[in-house]
Amino acid sequence: MITTDDGVRLWARRTGSGATPLVLCHGGPGIRDTFGELADRLGDRYAVHRWDQRGCGRSEGRDGGAEAYTLARAVADLEAVRRGFGLERMVLLGHSWGAYLALRYALDHPRQVERLVYVSGVGIGPEEEWRPAYAENFLRALGPRRRHWEELAALPDPSPAQERKQCVLRWATDFADPDRALQQAARMATPWYADGIHTAAGRWLGAAKRAEDPAALLARCARLDVETVVVDGALDMRPRSAVDSLVAALPRVRRVTLADAGHMPWEEDWEGFRAAVTG
């Protein structure tokens, strides 16, 4: 466990035999770490550090509503993870929401980041630029499972089993191969923790991200002296054009687009993903 500066205990784990420290930031916001298999597969190259963000999975939460779940707090928690493991510098990999968190951390703590790996993020521009297309693609990807997902999503107080099923249906849309998607999503949701999802934290952090000033962030990104690789799956339902302005702003960046991958590119093009991360 890692203890933050305000006394919250965060679940964290170090695995792997590699010499270079790699810290993983999972997606969400409001869900737990799902990087177990990815950590195992990168363990020959890195000492891999995983953690559950506050209020999610195996980590403690904190009362206080939106004031307890801010972007500054999320960045401070990541800094607590770095300090707790005694890392001087690290490769920092964030996926989806975690990509944004990793970027925000790098902007605040550039000296601690050896390389930033920004995976399947949605950029820093206004959400309305990509959200409508994603919502349309999401409903289309649900296909015949849409009614079941909507029924589960409408439940005011779902059981852990119902919550897990809803997540599996939603996560299945993030995979490029529809024949394997449910199986892949179910594996991500195993094991399942009854209190592993913090829906309110997801809303609060999502709102905080939307309230950020894109122009100010772009100006900060233009001054970021950190090697960055942006990894996209070309078949991700979130329009990849949302990342274009971020890529244009970063001074030390390369972009890798994996043609046959969706939102979880390591699942569908492992060799291409590994080469992008380790390159």
Query: ∠ CA(31), CA(186), CA(182), 5° rounding?
Result: 115
Average pLDDT on 238-250 reads: 96
Has residue 195 got a pLDDT over 80? Answer: no
Has residue 62 got a pLDDT over 90? Answer: no
pLDDT at 63: 86
| Domains of the chain in sequence order | 2-129+195-278 (3.40.50.1820)
Alpha carbon 95 to chain centroid, angstroms:
3
Return the number of other C-beta atoms located less than 10 Å from residue 152's C-beta.
Answer: 18
Pick from 43, 53, 57: which is nearest to 15 by CA? Answer: 43
Token pair for 17: 């035999």
Average pLDDT on 142-160 reads: 93
Q: How far apart are CA 226 and CA 113, in angstroms?
A: 7
Is 9 in a helix, a strand, or coil?
strand
Q: pLDDT tens for residues 213-237?
A: 999 999 999 999 999 999 999 999 9
What is the residue type of 229? Answer: V
- Name the band, by pLDDT with cuts 50, 70 and 90, for residue 260: very high
Asked if 193 and 58 count as a contact pair (C-beta separation under 8 A), the reply is yes
Asked if 258 and 233 count as a contact pair (C-beta separation under 8 A), the reply is yes
> H or E stretch including 138?
helix 131-142
| pTM reported for the whole predicted model | 0.96
- Name the band, by pLDDT with cuts 50, 70 and 90, for residue 128: very high
Q: What 3 state SS string does 21-84 have?
A: EEEEECCCCCCCCCCHHHHHHHCCCEEEEEECCCCCCCCCCCCCHHHHCCHHHHHHHHHHHHHH
Is 15 in a helix, a strand, or coil?
strand
Q: pLDDT tens for residues 70-97?
A: 999 999 999 999 999 999 999 999 999 9
Handedness of CA 112, 217, 77, 129 (dihedral sign): negative
What secondary structure does DSSP assign to 162-217, as a single string? HHHHHHHHHHHTTSS-TTTHHHHHHHHT-S--TT---HHHHHHHHHHHHTS-HHHH
Q: Which residues contact 244 (CB under 8 A, 6 or more apart)?
A: 123
Q: Which residues contact 107 (CB under 8 A, 6 or more apart)?
A: 217, 220, 221, 224
pLDDT at 65: 85
Peptide bond into 178 cis (omega under 30): no
